[in-house]
Amino acid sequence: MSVSRKITEAREGVDALAEYRKLPAIDTLLHEPAIALLSAQYGAAQTTESLRTLLAQARQAIATGQPAPLRPQWAGLLMEALAQANLPSLRALINATGVIIHTNLGRAPLSQAASAAVAMIAGSYSNLEYDLTAGIRGSRHQHTSSLLRELTNAEDALAVNNNAAALYLVLATLCAGREVLISRGQLVEIGGGFRIPDVLRQSGARLVEVGATNRTHPRDFSEAITPNTAAIMRVHSSNFRQIGFVAMPELSELAKIVQTTNAQNGTAVQLIDDLGSGTLLDTSLYQLAPEPMVQQSVTAGADIITFSGDKLLGGPQAGLILGRRRLIEQVRQHPMARALRVDKMTLAALDTTLRSYQRGTATQEIPVWQMISATPDALEARIQGWITTLHTFGIEGQVWPGESAIGGGSLPGETLPTRLLAIASAQPNIDAARLRAQAQPVVCRIQQNHLIFDARTVLAGEDGALLDAIKAIFS
């Protein structure tokens, strides 16, 4: 923050020359006891550079008619400047937007247990690739494959660094130089402008479009299969929805086509199911549209399934590949598998997240599912507590009804009824910016000249920090 915003307002008739003379030399400031302590903490080079910047700001302020900072003010100005300069680029913040899986805000937050597991593994050596029983080299893939097999009934599993990488690796391994059949209605563009046709092209596979944009039938796939067909691929439309005169084959129908083709022709056409977000829990239990479950894809006969770890699974960024053992082993042996593999911290978070599903406690422990399962009554009670606290500081708030979004390319168009804290603001854009500038930034929404805070996405334990930020800008 500039000096001109920290010192007193400009006085009429300020003698600019006299004010310039009040500006101390850098060497003089560096010998001040409080500033010498800051220099010891942050280093002489950074301290000196910050003082140069502050002096330049002070000269600019004097030129506009403001007085020079008083001598005792310099240590405080320097302390704030150094603290601001040393904030990490990647910071924790409070998501009050109501978008549960917010791509720009880091997608799914980890559970407390998963966060603790990451901290433990990051700060010590581990058996990442070491077999503790045999005392020999092991495989990092062993740490999650058994849990994924148990939870989904798949024969084998592999984790890579995201779902785009998972799909690319599968196509490069199993389909390079051959045809992959996809419905025209599933040529999806995912986040960042990446498109399924582009991923296919980079993998070396050749895209064959079948059906129409709005309607594709099983016969479209049957008629398009040739001796050069490597796979039929279903791509779940996890970030858009088609309505009206539409049709798409069920996965089980595609599995039957693949099985019949292979039996009749002695071929090895594979059925690849890209689920996108993917879920292990039934979303329809929470008044949401049914999202294809990973277990259902396995049962329906998909040979390979890919999905994300940091969306509806509620874990770290990862791309999970499940399917038939012989195919997964081929994928695992591909040269690019090493380039796309996950690190020890991702594996620690993923293992701990999957264990919540294994115990049947995902809705109690994983933040994404805590948020999805929260009831409007519980959210309103929480906001009433906020309003009571803020009222003691002269800040008035209201409870408004609203809708929360799932977000993150999951369940497009689906919302959950929620409750909002609404605080009137004469300058909502400025106040929202001030909230983002707090020690723990807060990201909210603006509606009808009110700052809007959706309680659904404010994590447990963040209430105090949220209220402190609101008090800081309104008190």
Instruction: Give residue-wise pLDDT tens across range 378-391.
Output: 999 999 999 999 99
How distant, in Å, are the alpha carbons of 179, 220, 229, 431 from that of 184? 15, 11, 17, 46
Answer whether 246's CB lies under 8 Å from 207's CB: no
Mean pLDDT of 19-26: 92
Q: What is the share, in percent, of the chain residues with pLDDT greater than 70?
A: 96
Mean of pLDDT values over 2-10: 46
Assign 9 a pLDDT band (cuts: 50, 70, 90). very low
For 46, residues 6+ apart whose C-beta sits below 8 A from its C-beta are: 82, 85
Judge whether residue 11 has pLDDT over 50.
Answer: no
pLDDT band at 8 (very low <50, low <70, confident <90, very high): very low
Confidence of residue 14 (pLDDT cuts 50, 70, 90): low
SS3 13: coil
Residue-averaged pLDDT of the chain: 92
3-state DSSP assignment of residue 393: coil
Q: What is the CA angle 316-317-323, rounded to 5?
A: 100
Strand, coil or helix: what is 322?
A: strand
Topology of domain 112-360, CATH: Aspartate Aminotransferase; domain 2 (3.40.640)
pLDDT digits (tens, 9 = 90+) for 45-64: 999 999 999 999 999 999 99
What is the pairing mode between strands 94-95 and 442-443? parallel
Give me the architecture of the 94-102+370-474 domain, per CATH. Alpha-Beta Complex (3.90)
Angle at 94 between CA 100 and CA 290, to 5 degrees: 5
pLDDT at 88 over 90: no
| pLDDT bracket for residue 243 (50, 70, 90) | confident
The single-letter DSSP state of residue 39 is H
**What token pair was written down for 300?**
């329906």
Q: How far apart are CA 102 and CA 29, in angstroms?
A: 45
- Which pLDDT tens digit goes with each residue over 99-113? 999 999 999 999 999
Per the CB < 8 A criterion, the answer to whether 70 and 29 are in contact is no
Please compute, for residue 348, the number of CA atoms within 13 A of its CA located in the half-sphere on the CB side.
Answer: 20
* H or E element at residue 221: helix 218-224
Average pLDDT rounded to a whole number, residues 430-443:
94
Mean pLDDT value of segment 284-312: 95
Reported as a pLDDT band with limits 50, 70 and 90, residue 209 is very high
The tens digit of pLDDT for each residue in 119-146 reads 999 999 999 999 999 999 999 999 999 9
d(CA 59, CA 47): 19
Q: For the residues 317-340, what does the mean pLDDT come to?
A: 96
8 A C-beta contact, residue 172 and residue 336:
yes
Encode pLDDT of 27-36 as tens digits.
999 999 999 9
Location of structure tokens 């996809």: 182
Q: 319 pairs with which residues across the strands?
A: 160, 308
Q: Is the pLDDT of residue 5 over 70?
A: no
Give the SS3 label for residue 174. Answer: helix
Q: Binning pLDDT at 50, 70 and 90, where does residue 392 land?
A: very high
Mean pLDDT of 389-416: 91
pLDDT at 274 over 90: yes
Q: What is the pLDDT of residues 163-194, one digit of tens each?
A: 999 999 999 999 999 999 999 988 887 666 67
pLDDT at 183: 94
What's the pLDDT score for residue 239?
A: 66
Domain residue ranges of the chain, discontinuous segments joined by +: 3-85, 94-102+370-474, 112-360
Retrieve residue 162's tokens: 């995201």
